[in-house]
Amino acid sequence: MHQQKSKKILLYIFLFMLVGSITNISLNNIKFNKIKNIKILGLKNNETQILLQDLKSLNLKNIYFINANEIRKIINSNNLVEKFEIFKIYPSTLFIEIEQTNFLARINKNGKLFVVGSNGKLLGEKYSNNNLPYIFGKPEIEDFLYFKNILDMSKLSYQEIKNFYFFPSKRWDIELKNNIILKLSKEDLKEKLDEAFEILNSKNISNIKIVDLRVKNQIILND
């Protein structure tokens, strides 16, 4: 019995010394890995440099305890970004892979020219391209993206579109690059667009300038 108590006492002394030796280590001597490199893939060089400077303003120090929300906030504030992923490459590198937004169309807002991105954000005139279709009227960007989504599901090619015309009634007209205008209703948009595609690819029409699909169950062709 006495021997068992002695063994327990020795065990407690050993544990006390072990814990004491750990807790007495100076925290200042523990070195965490600092972030030395931030690599960004997916943007042009000048845009990469701008984003790098914004990220460095966070003064990121430790790869183990970075504030991911702050990093996401800065990346999302860049209108060129569609989506992204952040990877930690130990011991000291952050790798950010970005998918850049697609430039969809040009639009005038308050007298200034902007480019509509597929992420729903507006980009400056420097990203403008005359090959992009122009949006006439004053749609909300959400209205345009909704219409673009339906258009993508139809047989009609987005690449054939020259201009969009938006009306206060939320109805759209489309001008094609061959100068034919498609007048659309607000209902059954995909079906109307598919009908227009079939008509435009028919060998029985020529010199058509307007395809009017606004009236239900009717197609009116004007030369």
Task: Give the domains, in start order, of the chain with CATH numbers.
Answer: 31-100 (3.10.20.310), 103-222 (3.40.50.11690)
Q: With left for phi above 0 and alpha for psi between -120 and 50, is residue 181 left, alpha or beta? A: beta
Q: What is the pLDDT at residue 183?
A: 96
Q: What is the pLDDT at residue 98?
A: 97
Q: What is the pLDDT at residue 64?
A: 75
**Omega of the bond prior to 91 within 30 degrees of 0, cis?**
yes
b/e 181-193 (16+ beta carbons within 10 angstroms → b): bbbbeeeebeebb
Beta bridge partners of 135: 107, 164
Q: Could you tell me if 193 and 155 are in contact, meaning their C-beta atoms sit under 8 angstroms apart?
A: yes
Cα–Cα dist 219/202, whole Å: 14
- List, in sequence order, every beta strand (DSSP E) within 16-75: 37-41
Q: What is the pLDDT at residue 18?
A: 46
Q: What is the dihedral of CA 46, 50, 51, 56, to 10 degrees?
A: 130
Q: Could you tell me if 148 and 117 are in contact, meaning their C-beta atoms sit under 8 angstroms apart?
A: no
Q: Could you tell me if 103 and 130 are in contact, meaning their C-beta atoms sit under 8 angstroms apart?
A: no
* Neighbour count for residue 70 (Cβ, 10 Å): 13
Q: What do you get for the CA distance between the two ends of the chain, in Å? A: 112
Cα–Cα dist 127/147, whole Å: 22
Q: What is the pLDDT at residue 56?
A: 85
- Type and span of the H or E element at 174: strand 172-176
Q: What is the pLDDT at residue 65?
A: 76
159 to each of 10, 76, 114, how far by Cα in Å? 83, 28, 19
Q: What is the pLDDT at residue 222?
A: 81
Q: What is the pLDDT at residue 124?
A: 94
Q: Could you tell me if 134 and 99 are in contact, meaning their C-beta atoms sit under 8 angstroms apart?
A: no
Q: What tens-digit pLDDT sequence spans the chain (223 residues)?
A: 555 555 555 555 554 554 444 444 444 444 556 788 899 999 999 999 999 999 888 877 777 777 888 899 999 999 999 999 999 888 888 999 999 999 999 999 999 999 999 999 999 999 998 899 999 999 999 999 999 999 999 999 999 999 999 999 999 999 999 999 999 999 999 999 999 999 888 866 778 899 999 988 788 888 6
